[in-house]
Amino acid sequence: MIKSMEHAFSLAGKVVLITGGNRGIGKGIALAMAQSGADVAIMCRNENSAKETLQELEAYGGKYRFYSGDVTSQQDAKAVVDQVVEEYGRLDILVNSAGIANPYDPMSEDEDLSGWYKVLDVDLNGTFLMCHYAGLKMKEQNYGRIINITSNSSRIVNIPQKSCSYNAAKAGGDRLTKCLAYEWAGYGIRVNAIAPGYTESELVTGVKDEGETMGWVDYWKKQTPTGRFNQPIEIGAVAVFLASEAAEQITGAVITIDGGYMLAR
Ligand SMILES: NC(=O)c1ccc[n+]([C@@H]2O[C@H](COP(=O)([O-])OP(=O)(O)OC[C@H]3O[C@@H](n4cnc5c(N)ncnc54)[C@H](OP(=O)(O)O)[C@@H]3O)[C@@H](O)[C@H]2O)c1
């Protein structure tokens, strides 16, 4: 219950685990949550980029650690959740930001179908595994907040890239969010999703303006009514809100942040 507006948006004393917290949107969320008083644990595979992010987080005076793990591994998901609870004493908030977005053409005659399976594995199965192991701890605490970073792609067809595996995985992420929100509300666990549109991160800035991907970034920007992409910290600000006391009555929501990209679709 909100006791005062002064504290309604604070995450002081909360422990958050952010998958993919080393860069891009996950890093934006890590910085926003650290500035709001949370202790932050980051899970990803690249230790070097995580070290840089931890150095930046140190400016905010909390407790920050890196955990090496692949979200597609059941063993890693369990081990990281267990380590965080052991070293921080509890786990209040899980943010699932780890994700990949490889384009995939289902009309390709290539026998290698990994373009389909890989995206589903990271973006949907990885999110599920982390929710599962964090959820078990949160049930014991009778307290938990889960935020899944899905995408506005869960509800549209992307142009010009072919991305049925990504869109299907993100649609699954939105539906998983709603099912868990309903099923876990009685355990004190709120589950929400943030569905960003194009956001300044390697996932977008890494797309080259040449060859097959020529003109893509320009097209996406022109289709965005506000005329620019999201900044990762803007996703972080909404994640802070969803994790905070101010959002106590919000569960099963999917909040779109896309500068109006979806409005005319
Ligand atoms: N950028 C956008 O325009 C946009 C729009 C909508 C939704 N999203 C979603 O937002 C999330 C973050 O994307 P981003 O833009 O920040 O992309 P990014 O900069 O490419 O970051 C992806 C993150 O996921 C981690 N990751 C990837 N595979 C992993 C695995 N198997 N296990 C653990 N960590 C893994 C990466 O760390 P390591 O490589 O070190 O493991 C990295 O931290 C994704 O779910 C993405 O689908 C992005």
Ligand 1, atom 11: nearest CA belongs to which residue?
A: 97
pLDDT score of 265: 87
Residue 251 CB–ligand 1 contact under 6 Å: no
pLDDT score of 107: 95
Low-confidence ranges of the chain (pLDDT < 70): none
- Largest Cα separation within the chain, whole Å, is 60
How much is the pTM? Answer: 0.98
Ligand 1, atom 36: nearest CA belongs to which residue?
A: 20
Residue type for 15, please? V
225 CA → ligand 1 middle, Å: 24
Q: Which of 64, 97, 137, 151 is catalytic?
A: 151
Which two structure tokens, joined as six digits, stand for 41?
């644990």
Q: Which of 19, 263, 4, 21 is nearest to 152 (CA)?
A: 263
- Centroid of chain to Cα 112: 28
Q: Is the peptide bond before 225 cis (omega within 30 degrees of 0)?
A: no
- The domain segmentation of the chain, as residue ranges, is 5-257
Classify domain 5-257 by CATH architecture.
3-Layer(aba) Sandwich (3.40)
Q: Which of 33, 2, 28, 23 is nearest to 235 (CA)?
A: 28
Residue 147 CB–ligand 1 contact under 6 Å: no
Residue 94 — φ and ψ, nearest 5°? -115, 130
- Tell me the DSSP string of 179-198: HHHHHHGGGTEEEEEEEE-S
Which two structure tokens, joined as six digits, stand for 177?
């969010």
pLDDT score of 43: 98
CB atoms within 10 A of CB 238: 20
166 is a catalytic site residue: yes
pLDDT score of 117: 97
